[in-house]
Chain A
């Protein structure tokens, strides 16, 4: 497939935004159980939610560049019963709204106790809103991943690993971003987040490697024989019917040289997985904001390459009909 940068930015930016929110809420949950020191609602959770919203907003903004008619985007909520894209279109703004409420309740300090469970566990408003937003964040990962995983003849995508990788890569970049933010805000949690970012990045390395391994062994179900229905082992296209370009020759081919394609296959795991783990570890040692920021920039650049590769690697069966001029 031809990788569209609008979609690459959409999926990586909202992934980081979702991950950042989940990191914030993880921090709050830990502090509820007194595992980490409680943070100032106003600066940390308030501004943290704002940062998450900025990433989500930028992702949403990027998505409009993918549309031929952005002014009709509201129509895309219509077919949520059948279309994962439609579901994403509903879940993304819902998650953003819930993140906004989460941020505002923290920022204003309006946090009444709603109820207590067995007289020990106190559930206040922010905890409940955050819980709902967490559900929406994971639902959004599911929707985004399923948009690709549900197309069964794009065999490189049609696997649960697609959803798992979207989730884990979003979480990894979000926790790295949370590390940067905590370090910037001068909060003790920086190394806590860095530790989680490393753990999630390592798990994501395994699942992404699994999908690379799986994809390298795929046997295409569609062949020339099934494409034109002629039972012969030797079928060669002599003409695709036109000499000029068309949508079919632009949309489904990545147009990168074999060398370029192979080099990105090696570059993205280094940038997304190897380097961030090393940089985050050294950041934990020195507790330096600049090093954490560098880790996030490297990982985000890696994610852009990862997403590019994700699209480029998918081999659409229609390409069988467009092999030669």
Chain B
């Protein structure tokens, strides 16, 4: 039993949208493509995207925190979009748990998009079929690529490594370990969809310094320096030198 998934570290994401554009670029040219655009350079443009980065503000000003939140298909272990599909075009792969759409079977009834609480599915208005994140299934198994590049294109594009990729069902995989050790969580757990993608929470980085830590107790100069001690408000080397 294998379940490929992404882990997205909200503590690291800077909201640069590199994953959005690289996703669009790879998938519009790959087997999932093309991803249609309408009026791209005119008023009221629209088009398909499998991945978006959204921004939320937490708290009340001035005590606020900005969270950038990448959102794509979560490849649920209990995908509600699959059983509702009348044709079987929407399916979950046994071998790796990726949820996919068979474009040749899809009739474009949009019922699966109603049945996804996350809004991860979109109708391609040109091909009239439902589309969604494929976890770059046409890339991660491509043996013509160097092994390091056999990852979803959003993962490769992320400049801060906020996106991790791997098998969440393998307890020894690096992403399983990350989920375990950094409090990884799932979105909307109340619906029992068991999303495979996990998110890592924001972490506070705090250092507590106590008064007695400000001066070094075992400072060798205590014995070696010339006496008498200079006063605290006297100039030090840092004050006279410009580094």
Contacts and interface: CB of A to CB of B under 8 A. Distances in A.
* A, B in one complex: yes
Interface of A: 1, 66-70, 72-73, 75-79, 82-86, 89, 147, 150-154, 221-222, 224, 226-230, 232, 234-242, 244-248, 251-252, 316-319, 321-322
Interface residues of B, number: 61
Ranked nearest first, the 5 interchain pairs of A and B with the lowest CB-CB distance are: A68-B108, A318-B119, A68-B128, A76-B86, A86-B86
Interface string B134-174: 00000000000000000000000000000000000000000
A70 B17 CA distance: 36
B212 to A, nearest CB: 35
Interface stretch (B92-100, B110-118, B203-211, B235-243): B110-118
Nearest to B63: A234
B122 A246 contact: yes
Given A76-B87, A82-B83, A83-B84, A66 B56 contact: no
Nearest to B90: A79
A67 B202 contact: no
21 contacts: A67-B107, A68-B107, A75-B87, A75-B89, A83-B86, A150-B84, A151-B80, A151-B115, A228-B199, A229-B187, A232-B59, A234-B59, A235-B56, A236-B56, A241-B53, A241-B55, A247-B48, A247-B121, A247-B122, A252-B119, A321-B71
Most-contacted residue by chain A among B106, B127, B188 (CB, 10 A): B188
Interface in B181-233: 185-191, 199, 201-202
B190 A248 contact: no
Contact of B109 (A85, A229, A252): A85
B187 A228 contact: yes
A66 B109 CA distance: 6
Contacts of A240: 52, 54
Contacts of B67: 228, 230
Nearest to B122: A247
A156 B127 CA distance: 32
Interface of B: 10, 17, 20, 44-49, 52-60, 66-67, 69, 71, 80, 82-89, 105-111, 113-119, 121-123, 127-129, 185-191, 199, 201-202
A323 B17 CA distance: 19
Contacts of B55: 237-239, 241
A253 to B, nearest CB: 11
B110 A251 contact: yes
Given A151-B114, A236-B57, A246-B47, A230 B106 contact: no
A273 B129 CA distance: 39
A244 B117 contact: no
A229 B185 contact: yes
Contact of B46 (A147, A222, A246): A246
B117 A153 contact: yes
B190 A221 contact: yes
Contact of B201 (A85, A224, A229, A247): A229
A85 B111 CA distance: 8
A216 to B, nearest CB: 21
Given A79-B85, A240-B52, A247-B123, A318 B189 contact: no
Contacts of B115: 151
Nearest to B60: A234
Contacts of A251: 110, 113, 123
A72 B189 contact: no
B119 A229 contact: no
Contacts of A318: 116-119
A237 B54 contact: yes
A1 B113 CA distance: 11
Nearest to A70: B107
Contact of B113 (A76, A234, A247): A247
A162 to B, nearest CB: 14
A79 B114 CA distance: 17
Nearest to B184: A229
Given A67-B108, A83-B84, A246-B46, 9 more contacts: A69-B128, A72-B106, A76-B86, A79-B83, A153-B117, A226-B188, A234-B60, A247-B121, A247-B123
Contacts of B110: 66, 68, 251
Contacts of B54: 237, 239-241, 321
A7 B129 CA distance: 18
B188 A317 contact: yes
Given A68-B106, A68-B107, A78 B88 contact: yes
A235 B56 CA distance: 7
Nearest to A88: B86
Given A78-B86, A246-B49, A321-B71, A222 B108 contact: no
A240 B58 CA distance: 15
Contacts of B86: 75-79, 83, 85-86, 89
B119 to A, nearest CB: 3
Contacts of A76: 86-87, 107, 109
B120 to A, nearest CB: 8
Contact of A227 (B10, B107, B187, B202): B187
A235 B57 contact: yes
Contact of A316 (B48, B60, B89, B114): B114
B107 A73 contact: yes
